[in-house]
């Protein structure tokens, strides 16, 4: 399955280079269905032919990319947006506009391929979708970059001192926030197992008795995707068992 892509950039050379890179991408493939040098042309093409993805520059004459993205969000079935820009400082605002990814020029083919995979994953996600049509996610800011992590990929959230460890099957992220806030907002996706941890309801595979030489008898939860087991407090045991059965 190929993604139908519209390239929006006021520089013809930048559009040409991006078209070439998209042609080299596989899994998923990208079919460029049009190009636009400004927001007005972009809207005309989207309304006329439609597309799955808009590769969008930010600094353009007239209406800039951020304003165009904001307008696209109001559509009944908006295309996915990946910003492609020379300016890294707009990343946080871009993700607030629910962009799937944010690429800085010059774009590498490998990085572009990752962005296309994120778009395809978003399109195929069958649950955890927000009102705007995007999978529910956290915006992770680490080492000067911002990244969207889909909550459907998160196995557990664990409070560590002044931050939260966000664990997926592939890696750990550091998130600045409060575990209680995440529990309240995403109770449909996560269940509390201990005062310092939430686990994905979908990832719960077993609840096992555990004997600790120091703390004595207790319970642990086994999760899909990681070997690590997390402690279950007696207070939360019933809720975790309920998640296991659902």
* Pair of tokens at residue 42: 């972009």
The model's pLDDT over 120-169, given as tens digits with 9 standing for 90+, comes to 887 765 434 444 445 578 888 776 677 888 888 999 999 988 899 999 99
Cα–Cα dist 27/184, whole Å: 37
* Pair of tokens at residue 32: 């460029």
* Higher pLDDT pick, 197 / 213: 197
Task: Give me the CATH code for the 2-125 domain, please.
Answer: 3.40.50.2300
The model's pLDDT over 81-123, given as tens digits with 9 standing for 90+, comes to 999 998 877 777 777 778 889 999 999 999 999 999 989 887 7
Pairing of strands 204-212, 197-200: unpaired
CATH 2.40.50.1020 residue ranges of the chain are 151-245
Cα–Cα dist 61/8, whole Å: 12
- Which 8-state DSSP code applies to residue 43? H
| Bridge partners, 218 (sequence order) | 210
Cα–Cα dist 243/210, whole Å: 19
Does position 1 have pLDDT exceeding 80, yes or no? no
pTM for this predicted structure: 0.56
| Bridge partners, 7 (sequence order) | 35, 55
CATH topology for 151-245 is OB fold (Dihydrolipoamide Acetyltransferase, E2P) (2.40.50)
Q: What is the pLDDT of residue 124?
A: 65
CATH 3.40.50.2300 residue ranges of the chain are 2-125
Does position 243 have pLDDT exceeding 70, yes or no? yes
- Confirm if 174 and 166 have CB atoms less than 8 A apart: yes
């Amino acid at each position: 399955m190929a993604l139908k892509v519209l390239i929006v950039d006021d520089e013809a050379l930048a559009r040409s280079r991006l078209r070439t890179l998209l042609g080299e991408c596989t899994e998923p493939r990208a079919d460029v269905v049009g190009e636009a040098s400004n927001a007005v042309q972009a809207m005309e093409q989207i309304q006329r032919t439609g597309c799955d993805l808009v590769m969008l520059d930010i600094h353009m004459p007239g209406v800039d990319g951020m304003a165009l993205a904001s307008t696209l969000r109001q559509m009944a079935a908006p295309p996915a947006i990946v910003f492609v820009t020379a300016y890294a400082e707009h990343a946080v605002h871009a993700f607030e506009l629910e962009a799937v990814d944010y690429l800085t020029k010059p774009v590498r083919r490998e990085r572009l391929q990752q962005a296309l995979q994120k778009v395809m994953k978003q399109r195929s996600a069958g649950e955890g979708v927000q009102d705007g049509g995007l999978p529910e996610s956290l915006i992770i800011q680490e080492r000067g970059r911002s990244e969207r992590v889909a909550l459907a990929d998160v196995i557990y959230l664990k409070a560590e001192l002044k931050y939260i460890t966000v664990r997926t099957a592939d890696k750990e992220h550091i998130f600045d926030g409060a575990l209680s806030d995440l529990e309240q907002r995403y109770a449909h996706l996560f269940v509390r197992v201990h005062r310092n941890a939430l686990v994905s309801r979908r990832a719960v595979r077993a609840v096992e008795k555990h004997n600790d030489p120091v703390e004595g008898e207790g319970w642990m939860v086994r999760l899909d995707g990681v070997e690590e087991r997390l402690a279950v407090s007696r207070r939360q045991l019933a809720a975790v068992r309920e998640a296991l059965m659902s």
